[in-house]
Amino acid sequence: MIKKIICCFGAICLLLWSGVPAQAQENVPEPSVSAASAILIEAETGRVLFSKNAEEQRAMASTTKIMTALLTLEQEDREVAITSDMIAVEGSSMGLRDGDRLTLHGLAAGMLSVSGNDAANAAAILIDGSLSAFADRMNRRAQELGLENTHFVTPSGLDAEGHYTTASDLAALTCAALENEAFRELTSSRQTSVSFLEPAETRTYQNHNKLLTMLDGCIGVKTGYTKQAGRCLVSAAEQNGIRLVAVTLYAPDDWNDHLAMMEYGFSRVERFGTPETPFSGSLPVTGGMAKEVPVYGEQETGAPLLTQEADRVVRCVELPRFLYAPVQEGDAVGRVTYWLDGNPLASFPLYAGGDVPCREAEPGFWDKIASFFGWK
């Protein structure tokens, strides 16, 4: 239950209203996963909902391509030509051949759908000239994102000494990647078509991620496997306005691990309810042509919370006792803030809903005398 409090600056707060938060599932047990390392987070806040050895450094296999594809999609798209040295790599492939011409972003599509090692290597060489130079780019971005326990050596994720991450870092990277619209569109697509300029044809690729058909609201993200890394999987799903990200490393039963983690997470988190209609009220105006001005707010959106926290949320409407003229429509005059245990969750401005110009001053005694005798 959300408590609503309205406070005027310098006045006592009064309890005015309470609402009902959105309902989440209940009584879902904490998952028991096969993974050596795992984590489940709420993407908007980064809050950890479940973890198992999440800070342990491990090989990451093709989940590496989350970073490779993100960096590729951040480049200005252009036509590129494939040469044999770019695609001399083992493992999964999007079927690139010497002489193929396509776009740089088409390579990212091949990475995120069929986990093309050829696409990852080609993009790295096309962007930075060599695999090692592109690895430097990957590590710079990792530092920018605060991934302190991650180091990249290969763009494809093939096992290499010094190529590692943690479940925690991989979840943070995924949250950043999902902010990229092109990345999000590709990784959530069950089927992707890539247009080639040479040969002039369109090739269609089926996404390897089974969770796209197994999990409601699944929006990706990436599978992976090598002998050293084992089965690796990163997933993301959205339900009822909540986005969760799950990571498992060295997980023999990864599909079921993720289904269990997601069910648990969505049972634990909800977006606390907000009023169906925005705030509406009025404020007195001193020295204006009107005695009061309407006050309005925009539609509010709640922040994700654990279910047991929802009844501790307080909604505080902060407004002054009055306004001085002049007032212009759209002026910010107050705020609606949601609090949990003394910490702000979300805040929204309140605006003046009209213009109130200053009232002309009343003429004084001598002004009236002068006016009467026509002296002015």
pLDDT higher than 90, residue 1: no
pLDDT higher than 90, residue 46: yes
Mean pLDDT of the chain: 91
pLDDT higher than 90, residue 376: no
Tell me which amino acid residue 168 is: S
Give DSSP secondary structure letters for 228-271.
TTEEEEEEEEEETTEEEEEEEES-TTHHHHHHHHHHHHHHHEEE
Looking at residue 207, what is its pLDDT? 98
Residue ranges and CATH numbers for the domains of the chain are 2-22+274-352 (2.60.410.10), 37-271 (3.40.710.10)
**Residue 222 annotated in ligand binding:** yes
pLDDT higher than 90, residue 324: yes
Check if the beta carbon of residue 87 is closer than 8 Å to that of residue 259: no
- CA–CA dist 151, 136 (Å, integer): 9
Using one digit for the tens of pLDDT, what is the confidence trace for 196-235?
999 999 999 999 999 999 999 999 999 999 999 999 999 9
- CA–CA dist 33, 67 (Å, integer): 25
Using one digit for the tens of pLDDT, what is the confidence trace for 150-202?
999 999 999 999 999 999 999 999 999 999 999 999 999 999 999 999 999 99
Looking at residue 21, what is its pLDDT? 44
Q: Stretch 327-346: mean pLDDT, rounded?
A: 92
pLDDT higher than 80, residue 4: no
Which positions are catalytic?
Answer: 62, 65, 115
pLDDT higher than 60, residue 3: no
Q: Stretch 15-31: mean pLDDT, rounded?
A: 56
pTM for the full model? 0.80
Q: Stretch 76-92: mean pLDDT, rounded?
A: 98
Q: Between β-strands 304-306 and 313-319, what pairing exists: parallel, antiparallel or unpaired? A: unpaired
